[in-house]
A and B are shown apart, each in its own frame.
Chain A
Amino acid sequence: MKQVSLKESEYSVKKGKIVRTKQMTEMEKLFEISLSNGEALDHEPGQFVMISVPGVGEAPISVSSSPTTKRSTFELVVRNAGMLTGSLHKLEKGDTVGIRGPFGHGFPTQILEGNDLMFIAGGLGIVPLRSLINFVIDNRRDYGKVNILLGCKTPQDMLFGDEVKQWEERLDVNFHCTVDRSDPEWKGNVGLITSLIPGVNLDSNRTFAVVVGPPIMYKFVIAELLKKKIPQRQILLSLERHMKCGVGKCGHCQVGEYYCCQDGPVFTYEQIKGKHEAL
């Protein structure tokens, strides 16, 4: 077997310097990363990158920052859930990681323009959805009414607390939040995220619902959205799947004839309804 070095392949990795970290909860840590030479990641909200720790491996992580926030850096929020993410959690400012991407089809920001939006985030779903929410807030006049529905297990699991507070305080954003289990300090709703949907006053013709959450959440949320008469093509879902390559080859993220990494992760409900194993 002969071996040659390549200038570039689908597996080429860019150097990413960690410029800031923040422990967000016991399990989640934020990494702000800049590519070498100040190169912009140039991502769309909803896309993901493959992040590498040499010798440990690579994993797909959603980009959590909006491209409108900063051009020279981007943010990833990583839950400590396995080998790779565990070793990522040990890294600090100044350390280097490998970055491939951005990959996939993100949220169709152009198609959303001029429409009312209902963001629905369950648990870690807020991590990729934050990218779109901040994109929309930064281009606020281009969009109609903005509703944000946020759900998490307990008040302690709430990510981006300061930012969430700002969303809540904005006059041009309609914000609702619920937790599965409350604590004595909690003053908000208690219950599943589906319980927030019926109360939202919306014009179904011009509303796009953007849903991101754990796999189990989708079918219950979709049922509520359909009750609200939101058209199937206006329900956008970001699917989570196991991924190894990010370039539509390794087979792990297959959903029907789609590869989640290339054709998704964002799909319309119309695209995937009835597809075996999609929801």
Chain B
Amino acid sequence: MGKYVILKKTDFNEFIEKLAKIKPVVAPVAKGKKSFAFAEVTTGKEVAVDYIPTILPPKKYFLPQKEKILEFNKKKQEWTPVLEYSEKIIFGVHTCDLAGIQSLNIVFTSKPKDINYIVRKDKLVIIGLECNHYCDEYASCAVMDNHLPNGGYDLFFTDLKKYFMIHVNTLAGEEIISKIKLFEEAKPINFHDLEALREEKRKIFKDEVKVGHKALKDLFEKSVNSNVWKELDKRCVSCGNCTNVCPTCYCFDVKDDINLDFNTGSRYRVWDSCQNEDFAKVAGGESFRENRGQRQLHRHMRKFNYPVEKFSRYFCTGCGRCSRTCMAGINLKETINALAEEKK
């Protein structure tokens, strides 16, 4: 079962304050109505404990939107690979986003390993936070099997009204618990409360679409010629919001910036989107995905089909961000249901 401790709600402010003295802490912070973002906090009052998925997932700390990978000096003919990192404690990561981080880990630790990602990841402490209920109608975490904790954190908080039940999962987590002396050993009653919540969750969280978890891969594989993509072709505006906010989208471009001395400069990797028209265009001008419907199909295949072949894992976490952010109202649950309907 592992080690569990509890933290009284009344001690939460002090907990965050003490945590922030160990390392900079980032946590979900309210940004207007129904809008949240991970940002630096120094006290518990700033933290939105009950929040819906942040605009950008915590991937921004693992794979920054713009990241320097190389510095060059033209005259000296020197190229120096560099690594950017920052030490942080990420507090309040929902189970969907923990699954997203796990997906990124799989990609960047697969050979050839990405040293930049791996070092940066190891400088981050992850504190998870359980969702007691659905965030909103866009989530599909139950069918993606991410509504309950599946590891990927150092500490994991569950809000049990007057206190947090905390799973201590790693030595890094244990270190925080021992440094911040606000915790008590969990007693049988606390385990009972936790089990009661999980039981309640099993009643609330049900497959959100008309297709079961295992059948999703096949559904998309057979959807290549579906009218659903022709329909999305008419609606998608190719803005790339869906890929930017996706916790498992990691595609990037590599670009050079030269300084004003026209001699020194840097090479960066920058988030890119398969929804952009020239993403798959080759030098001769041929594109493998000329229209928006094809690009939407590709995005879905990269969540529900290709990674299952490659990594035995769906790269959709069910967080709902793509649907929540889409300017054209393209909704993942509706897309899946339309494909299922068409198949009948």
Q: Which residues of A are at the interface with B, using a C-beta cutoff of 8 A?
A: 1-13, 15, 52, 54-59, 79, 81-82, 85, 96, 98, 124, 214-216, 240-242, 244-245, 247-252, 254, 256-257, 262, 276-277
**Chain A residues with Cβ under 8 A from B283's Cβ?**
59, 79, 81-82, 85
Contact B116 A9 (CB under 8 A): yes
Q: Are A10 and B112 in contact (CB under 8 A)?
A: yes
Asked if B108 is at the interface (CB within 8 A of a chain A CB), the reply is: yes
Q: Indicate whether B142 reaches chain A with its CB closer than 8 angstroms.
A: no
- The distance from the CB of A81 to the nearest CB of chain B, in whole angstroms, is 4
Q: Does B82 have its Cβ within 8 Å of any Cβ on chain A? A: yes
B179 at interface (Cβ–Cβ under 8 A)? no
Residues from chain B with a CB closer than 8 A to the CB of A81 are 283-284
Contact of B74 with A54 in the complex, beta carbons under 8 Å: yes
A5 contacts B80, CB within 8 Å? yes
**Distance in Å: Cβ of B100 to nearest Cβ of chain A:** 16
User: Does B72 count as interface, using CB distance less than 8 angstroms?
Assistant: yes
Cβ of A251 and Cβ of B252 under 8 Å apart? yes
Q: Kindly list chain A residues whose C-beta atoms are within 8 Å of the C-beta of B115.
A: 6, 8-10
Q: Considering the complex, give the chain A residue whose CB is closest to the CB of B262.
A: A55
CA distance A57 to B309 in the complex (A): 32
> What residues on B are CB-neighbors of A3 within 8 Å?
68, 82-84
Of A242, A244, A248, A251, most buried by chain B (CB within 10 Å of CB) is A251
Closest Cβ of chain B: how far from A54's Cβ, in Å? 4
Per-position 1/0 for B56-74, Cβ under 8 A of A? 0000000010001111101
Given contacts A6-B115, A10-B115, contact A245 B286 (CB under 8 A): no
- CA separation between A50 and B217, bound complex, in Å? 34
Using known A-B contacts A6-B115, A215-B282, determine if residue A251 contacts B84 with beta carbons closer than 8 Å: no
A134 to B82 CA separation, bound complex (whole angstroms): 39
Number of A-B contacts (CB under 8 A): 148
User: What does the 1/0 interface line of B100-119 toward A look like (CB < 8 Å)?
Assistant: 00000001101011111000
How many chain B residues have a CB neighbour from A under 8 Å?
58
Complexed CA–CA distance, A242 and B274 (Å): 12
User: Once the chains bind, are A9 and B83 in contact (CB under 8 Å)?
Assistant: yes
Within the complex, which residue of A56, A85, A124 is in contact with B256, where a contact is CB–CB below 8 Å?
A56
Residue B163 is within 8 A (CB to CB) of chain A in the complex = no
Of residues 252 through 284 on chain B, the ones whose CB sits less than 8 Å from some CB of chain A are 252-258, 262, 265, 267, 269, 272, 274, 278-284
B93 an interface residue at 8 Å Cβ cutoff? Answer: no
The answer on a CB contact under 8 Å between B82 and A251 is no
Q: Are A58 and B254 in contact (CB under 8 A)?
A: yes
A252 in contact with B286 (CB, 8 Å): no
* Bound form: Cα–Cα A4–B87 in Å: 13
